[in-house]
A and B are shown apart, each in its own frame.
Chain A
Amino acid sequence: MRFVVRRLLLFAAALVGVSVLVFAALRILPGDVAVVMAGTNASASRVAELRAEFGLDRPYVVQYLDWAGGLLHGDLGMSALTGRAVAAQVGRRAAITFPLIVMSLVIALAIGLPLGCAASIARSPRLRGLFHVLAIAGGAVPALWSGLLLLLLFGRGVGLIGLFPSQGFPADGWGDPARAIASLILPALATGFVAAAGIMRYTRAALDDVAVDGGPVDMAMACGMTRTQAMLHVGLRLATPQLVSVIGLTFASMITGVMVIENLFALPGLGALLVGDVGNRDLVAVQSELFLLAAFFLVLGLIVDLTHRALDPRLAAEEE
């Protein structure tokens, strides 16, 4: 329990810290945000008007407290450019980005877990070397490139075998789930392949760590399991806490790739929103969106740590 309480306190502190960080970083902006928003030919009075409208003329502390207070109530503010609520925009686009991330993760696990197990179980130096190179090479592919290659192979209109839509997302969103999923398949494969290499490496390392000399895997083998059985039944179970961490890490590390891939496949997801807002220096929107995403990853870190803890009876025993 002490661990959980400490971890929760840390999480709350991190949330506050990140919000201050995001807020402060955006205030060292060289260009005046109001000037940018008003456009190049705007008069000084128009700029002052905008500044007053968005409360940019108030002291930083007041601005921060106002923003943070809004966050607590779920109010993410208004986009300065579109005038729409940031929360609504984020929600609509998350409906594309999160399914994409989850599909990528499923693909990455489906490829990476079995290969990682095989790499750890393999005995011959040649085979182990091959798996090693495969994992390193797979992780070195830029997501943009894997996406392009997939387009060239399977993209409808551009590819050798046009199997899947290569651009965009159905206008009616998830109205037709089959079409929505079809348009996410190539993007998910593009990021999934690259992430699979990471999962493979981590799985192999986790299993190698668990299968120490004279450890439970050896014990299971001594009881009559083959090496493969022992690794899959005992080794994998013991590596589960680490694998949970790996999935959390992979989730976070996929984000860059996901944003690139959304752009390449013209998917109107969170990545496109964020990149657009950064390009437009839409201060209010960027501030809330960055904080929201950072908070999401802090939550993810929290969940991973707590799950990790719960799955490992030895760590739990330390508490008692």
Chain B
Amino acid sequence: MSVEIEGLRVAVGATEIVHGVDLAVGDGERVGLIGSSGSGKSMIAKSLLGLLPHEATPSGRIAMGDAVVLGDDGYADERTLADLRGRYVGTVFQNPAAALNPVATVAKQIELPLRMHYDLGAGEREERVRAMLDKVGLPQDVLNKRPHELSGGQRQRVGIATALITSPRFIVADEPTTALDSITQRQIVDLLVSLVDDAGASMLFITHDFAVLSRATTRCYVLEAGRVVETGTTADLLTAPKAAPTRDLVSAARTLTLEAHHD
């Protein structure tokens, strides 16, 4: 599913944080959005589906496939947004330890999008959840565990399983690896990429780390202080960054990778 963002502005209170961002994700494309912390990239991710906190007001235009999510009159109504969320659009959160419902079992968590959008029997739901566990590489015995009994990497696998259980057409991954150690990061990125490609979905991958981005995306946007400062293929930006923020991010990624190799 293609996604188009035009002239998106987000203000928190009286302060504007995102100053008119244009961004497009083609059908089946994996696109990155990279920026240092505080550049406003998380605000963009949250504004995609109406998950902004109440102090934030977005304006501009967001369209997904045929549906207009954000238009001149503000957001589409909450019911329309809810129908998109979890069915056509899956979201992977930054910190699964915080995002997963602490009182729900893994089974309940993963099947939630199915319950919200499809009229399936309990048996069929369980079958699909079990199949999904295999796909994300989790053992079947986690089904009745709760998030606090899992490791960080396992939790994010649960997060990915939940986002992909309904085979959505578009995935928003909001810094899905930031809370993980470097080895687990790589496994999670590769898993996410292969699942998205298998499903033929498109993805917007948000991060501050070019090292991760090069594995996950083909094209990307560089965000700095609420504006897109550079855009191009990920490979080009990595080898020949033009804008100063891009250079900083690339060199930061190099240093980190080198350090990681020395360990």
Contacts and interface: CB of A to CB of B under 8 A. Distances in A.
Interface of A: 122-123, 125, 128, 212-216, 218-229, 234, 237-238, 313-314, 317
A26 to B, nearest CB: 47
Contact of B99 (A215, A225, A228, A229): A215
Contacts of A213: 46, 53
Nearest to B172: A222
A314 B97 CA distance: 11
B125 interface: no
Nearest to B162: A223
B101 interface: yes
Contacts, number: 83
Contacts of A234: 101
Contact of A223 (B54, B86, B148): B86
Given A222-B90, A224-B113, A226-B78, 6 more contacts: A122-B54, A216-B102, A221-B50, A221-B82, A224-B85, A228-B78
A222 B87 CA distance: 9
A314 B98 contact: no
B94 A214 contact: yes
Given A216-B101, A218-B93, A222-B91, A227 B116 contact: no
Given A128-B54, A218-B51, A223 B85 contact: yes
Contacts of A313: 102-103, 146, 148
B49 interface: yes
Contacts of B86: 222-224
Task: Rank and list the top 7 A-B pairs by shortest CB-CB distance, nearest first.
Answer: A224-B86, A224-B116, A222-B91, A223-B86, A223-B112, A216-B101, A219-B99
Contacts of B51: 218, 221-222
Nearest to B149: A317
B218 interface: no
16 contacts: A122-B54, A214-B99, A219-B99, A219-B100, A220-B101, A221-B49, A223-B112, A224-B112, A224-B116, A225-B85, A226-B82, A227-B50, A234-B101, A237-B103, A238-B102, A313-B102
Contacts of B148: 313-314, 317
Interface in B20-66: 46, 49-51, 53-54
Contacts of B99: 214-216, 218-219
A120 to B, nearest CB: 9
A221 B85 contact: yes
Interface in B106-161: 112-113, 116-117, 146, 148-149
Nearest to B51: A218
Contact of B102 (A218, A225, A314): A314
A70 to B, nearest CB: 46
A99 to B, nearest CB: 34
Nearest to A240: B103
Contacts of B101: 216, 219-220, 234, 238
B214 interface: no
B184 interface: no
B117 A224 contact: yes
B79 interface: yes
Contacts of B102: 216, 238, 313-314
B116 A225 contact: yes
B230 to A, nearest CB: 27
A310 to B, nearest CB: 12
A227 B78 contact: yes
Contacts of A237: 103
Contacts of A229: 82
A283 to B, nearest CB: 51
Contacts of A314: 102, 148
